[in-house]
Amino acid sequence: MSWEDSVRKVVPYVAGEQPKQKDVIKLNTNECPYPPAPAVAKLAENLDTDAFRLYPDPDTTPIVTALAEYYGVKKEQVFVGVGSDDVISMAFLTFFNNEKPILFPDVTYSFYDVWADLYHIPYKTVALKDDWSIDVEGFKQENGGVIFPNPNAPTGLYMDLEYVEEIIKANPDVVVMVDEAYIDFGGKSALPLLEKYDNLLVIQTFSKSRAMAGLRIGFCIGNEKLIKYLNDVKFSFNSYTMNRPSQALGAAAVQDDAYFKEITGKIIATREWTKKELTRLGFTFPDSKANFIFASHKSVPAADIFNYLRQQNIYVRYWNKDRINNSLRITIGTDSQMQLLIAALEAYLG
Ligand code: PMP
């Protein structure tokens, strides 16, 4: 017997690369190419650094209040965490606590199985259909909980709310989590369904549509009882998860709705232009409603294109994994970044 026998062993999630050099066109981690709202920069310049002596508000009141107002829900229905990764991780720990396997798609956000392993939660994956869509029927088997992103990652495919509701309706005895990290790029949020279902948790993030991945802000909205249970677990884990600047700056971002709509609108327009160009160059992809496109080329292997783009200092994401090893996930950048990407692909693919 050695101490190593009692180690909690996990195969960790591999995050996308954050290159050190500055001249990279970074289309590999679905960040926003535009800066956060102007009010965020203004407030950041005037941060009260003396207050850093003090612990932050454990209830994250500024940001919870701003989000409750923005989404028209009660403060008691909002939970904030350090990125939606933190929110989802806490939610797994809180709600997926029984012997039955939880369900999620086989091709999806690759952190779900890592958290399940970490917390010893049994899980089963539901295979996407051949057109990459989520198989709603597969989520009607007995289970200990459900999570899926909408739009799904890394496919970008959005599922109409009627199907989201069908999954929730089929699972009244477990918590159903809809991970809406990419919902602000053209999809409809499941938030209105909260009125009908007390077992629904809708999770969103400031990392993409609010251009604040570096501050690590995520949140979820659900029935008051769900949020209370979630807070009980959070306060048994770490009371002060979110730091002072993130709480203040996050609240400022929510208050500038015009800017939010402007940048998400720009990203949507750039995405639609990029789709046409990729099609012209011989790529196919599921029709994305996210800030990325999951593309494969009709004749050139994804791994070759990935390596070529990297040499050109254009970073996209590639996984050498079953089912997805011939696709590249390309984040939507600015118009000029996407023009450079297309020009580079054109030169390579001839
Ligand atoms: N869910 C999905 C589907 C994602 O792609 C990501 C981004 N990696 C996250 C959640 C987590 O994002 P964050 O922790 O930055 O909010």
pLDDT along the chain (350 residues), means of 10: 94 90 94 97 95 97 96 98 98 97 97 97 97 97 98 98 98 98 98 98 98 98 98 96 96 96 98 98 98 97 98 96 95 98 96
Task: Provide the token pair at 142.
Answer: 């007995």
Distance CA 69, CA 67 (A): 5
Q: For helices 335-349 and 302-311, what crossing angle results, to 10°?
A: 120
Q: Residue 92, exposed/middle/buried by CB under 10 A (0-12, 13-18, 19+)?
A: buried
Region class of 83: left (phi > 0), else alpha (psi between -120 and 50), else beta = left
| Atom in ligand 1 nearest the alpha carbon of residue 29 | 8
| Atom in ligand 1 nearest the alpha carbon of residue 88 | 10
Estimate to the nearest angstrom the gap between the alpha carbon of 124 and the chain centroid.
21
pLDDT computed for residue 332 by the predictor? 98
Q: What does residue 302 show for φ and ψ, rounded to 5 degrees? A: -55, -40
pLDDT computed for residue 350 by the predictor? 80
pLDDT computed for residue 22 by the predictor? 84
Contact predicate 219/59, CB 8 Å: no
- The answer to whether the CB of 218 is under 6 A from ligand 1 is yes
Distance CA 175, CA 144 (A): 8
Distance 148 CA to ligand 1 centre (A): 12
**In Å, what is the CA distance from 178 to each residue of 9, 121, 146, 200, 212?**
28, 18, 8, 8, 21
**What residues are paired with 295 via a beta bridge?**
328
Q: What is the rounded radius of gyration, in angstroms, for the C-alpha atoms of the chain?
A: 20
Distance 242 CA to ligand 1 centre (A): 17
- The answer to whether the CB of 286 is under 6 A from ligand 1 is no
Distance 16 CA to ligand 1 centre (A): 11
Distance 236 CA to ligand 1 centre (A): 24
- The answer to whether the CB of 180 is under 6 A from ligand 1 is no
- The answer to whether the CB of 149 is under 6 A from ligand 1 is yes
Distance 144 CA to ligand 1 centre (A): 22
pLDDT computed for residue 326 by the predictor? 97
pLDDT computed for residue 186 by the predictor? 97
pLDDT computed for residue 17 by the predictor? 86
Q: For helices 244-255 and 61-71, what crossing angle results, to 10°?
A: 20
Residue nearest to atom 6 of ligand 1 (CA): 181
